[in-house]
């Protein structure tokens, strides 16, 4: 089993469907790491171990996961769809511009509706164009959108920065999006 497969499995359980293995997560997204190991399904016939999880968490390119200081709990930092997880993020003034990577086939709809969270709780934004580009490739031909974050903030939109530097906002109306990058 590759690190990517395990990371995807952990994302699925910790962001979206803890109930799939009857794992209890609190509103900040934390669940007991030993319970996770015990209840998790084998991936390609291999059972998760503490060492594997620790390696994945350490190597995660996007720092998706966090293990508590006492080593007992684990959570996904952001990206949740599960409504029982309502993380409290730090509200912050964003940089002047943020980026969002999407696929060209979504552009017509985004031009009409703006950016919406779809299945997740927030629209995900980044300070890094390269990250936005690679995020966009997940769904097709990538397109980077530039978000006028300062203008939004001035108009009262609340921005949050997750511990892994992903920026979160509830929605982005079209007027704050530049499509011509
Ligand atoms: C698009 C990954 C049509 C939106 C990334 C995106 C991120 C619309 C897709 C994190 C739309 C939702 C989240 C509208 C938004 N009409 N399409 N009005 N508004 N969309 O996966 O931002 O690797 O839920 O552009 O790095 O792609 O999983 O969101 O294409 O940080 O850790 O609807 O997931 O991180 O897709 O990705 P997603 P996302 P991980």
**Domain assignment of residue 59, yes or no:** yes
pLDDT band at 163 (very low <50, low <70, confident <90, very high): very high
If one counts the domains in the chain, the total is: 2
Instruction: Tell me which residue range forms the domain holding 25.
Output: 3-76
Residue to mutate (ligand 1; options 104, 113, 115, 177; most atoms within 8 A of CB): 115
Centre of ligand 1 from the C-alpha of residue 24, in Å: 26
Average pLDDT over residues 122-145: 97
Say yes or no: 70 and 110 in one domain.
no
CATH no. for residue 152?
A: 3.20.170.30
| pLDDT exceeds cutoff 80 at 154 | yes
Q: Are 22 and 67 members of one domain?
A: yes
DSSP string, 27-78: TT--EEHHHHHHHSPPBTTB---HHHHHHHHHH-TT--EEE-TTSSEEEESS
Residue 164 lies inside a defined structural domain of this protein: yes
Point out the ligand 1 atom lying closest to the alpha carbon of residue 11: 28
**Per-residue confidence at 148, pLDDT binned at 50, 70, 90?**
very high
How far is it, in rounded angstroms, from Cα 87 to Cα 73? 15
Residues 64, 105: one domain? no
Write out pLDDT tens, residues 36-59: 999 998 887 889 999 999 999 999
Ligand 1 probe mutation, 5, 63, 102, 127, most atoms within 8 A of CB = 102
Q: Convert the pLDDT of each residue in 81-118 to its tens digit.
A: 999 999 999 999 999 999 999 999 999 999 999 999 99
Q: Name the pLDDT band for 120 (thresholds 50, 70, 90).
A: very high
Residue 108: per-residue pLDDT: 97
Report the pLDDT averaged over residues 61-79.
Answer: 97
How confident is the model over 10-17, as a mean pLDDT? Answer: 97
Say what the pLDDT of residue 102 is.
98
Contact between 47 and 40 under an 8 Å Cβ cutoff? The reply is yes
Is 88 within the bounds of a domain? no
121 and 63 in a common domain? no
Q: Ligand 1: which residue has its CA nearest to atom 7?
A: 124
pLDDT for the residue 1? 73
103 shares its domain with 174: yes
Cα of 65 from ligand 1 centre, angstroms? 18
CB-based pocket (< 6 A), ligand 1: 11, 62, 64, 79, 102-103, 106, 109-110, 113, 115-116, 118-120, 124, 135, 139, 166
pLDDT of residue 180: 80
DSSP code, position 153: H
Averaged pLDDT for residues 127-141: 97
Q: Where are the beta strands (DSSP E) in the chain?
A: 31-32, 65-67, 73-76, 90-91, 97-103, 123-125, 142-148, 160-161, 167-169, 177-178
- The pick from 5, 101, 106 for probing ligand 1's pocket by mutation, whose C-beta has the most ligand atoms within 8 angstroms, reads 106
Tokens of 155: 């108009």
**Ligand 1 atom at minimal distance to the Cα of residue 123:** 22
Cβ contacts of residue 113 below 8 Å, gap of 6+? 174
From 43, 76, 109, give the residue that closes a domain: 76
């Amino acid at each position: 089993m590759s690190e990517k497969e395990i990371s995807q499995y952990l994302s699925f359980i910790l962001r979206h469907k803890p109930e799939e293995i009857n794992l209890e997560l609190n509103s900040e997204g934390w669940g007991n790491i030993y319970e996770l190991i015990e209840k998790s399904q084998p991936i390609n016939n291999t059972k998760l171990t503490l060492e594997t999880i620790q390696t994945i968490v350490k190597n995660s390119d996007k720092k998706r996961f966090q293990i508590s200081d006492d080593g007992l709990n684990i959570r996904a930092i952001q990206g949740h769809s599960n409504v029982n997880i309502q993380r409290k993020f730090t509200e912050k003034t964003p940089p002047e511009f943020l980026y969002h990577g999407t696929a060209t086939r979504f552009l017509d709809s985004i031009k009409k509706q703006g950016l919406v969270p779809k299945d997740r709780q927030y629209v995900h934004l980044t300070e890094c164009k390269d990250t936005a580009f690679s995020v966009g490739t997940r769904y097709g031909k990538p397109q980077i959108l530039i978000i006028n974050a300062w203008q939004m903030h001035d108009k009262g939109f609340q921005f949050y920065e997750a511990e892994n530097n992903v920026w979160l906002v509830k929605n982005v109306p079209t007027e704050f999006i530049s499509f011509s990058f």
